[in-house]
Amino acid sequence: MTARARRAADREQRISSVVDAYLNLVTATPLKYQGISALLVAGVKRLEAHDEVAEALQRIAERAGRNPLGQPADSVSDLHAMLQEVRFDGVNVTGYDAARSKYQK
């Protein structure tokens, strides 16, 4: 396998892993995890760039019928950086509003 093919396979694995984990969480525990909290628990921070996060959000929206962030991916200048600033302690999501304002286009 070439280096380029390996990078593409790794990228696909990261995205698929987050999408599958998100869908499992919102299906199995809908009263506990939705939206941004489910994204964080699903491992969205493991994604490596804005385009990976945008693709994961697109796939989730296609399969779940809605975008977990409630806003189009292209309304945020850097989804990856924005989500790195958001925290979830198991109960509360913190930093989302500030990060969203900071990275809003």
CA pair distance 41, 22, nearest whole angstrom: 8
- DSSP notation for 3-36: HHHHHHHHHHHHHHHHHHHHHHHHHH-TTT--HH
- Answer whether residue 13 shows pLDDT above 90: yes
CA pair distance 1, 83, nearest whole angstrom: 32
- Answer whether residue 2 shows pLDDT above 90: yes
Q: Is 1 exposed, middle or buried (0-12, 13-18, 19+ CB in 10 A)?
A: exposed
Instruction: Quote the pTM value.
Output: 0.92
The pLDDT value recorded for residue 73 is: 82
How confident is the model over 46-101, as pLDDT tens digits? Answer: 999 999 999 999 999 999 999 999 888 889 999 999 999 999 999 999 999 999 99
- Domain boundaries along the sequence of the chain: 3-103
How confident is the model over 20-58, as pLDDT tens digits? Answer: 999 999 999 988 999 999 999 999 999 999 999 999 999
Q: Is 65 exposed, middle or buried (0-12, 13-18, 19+ CB in 10 A)?
A: exposed
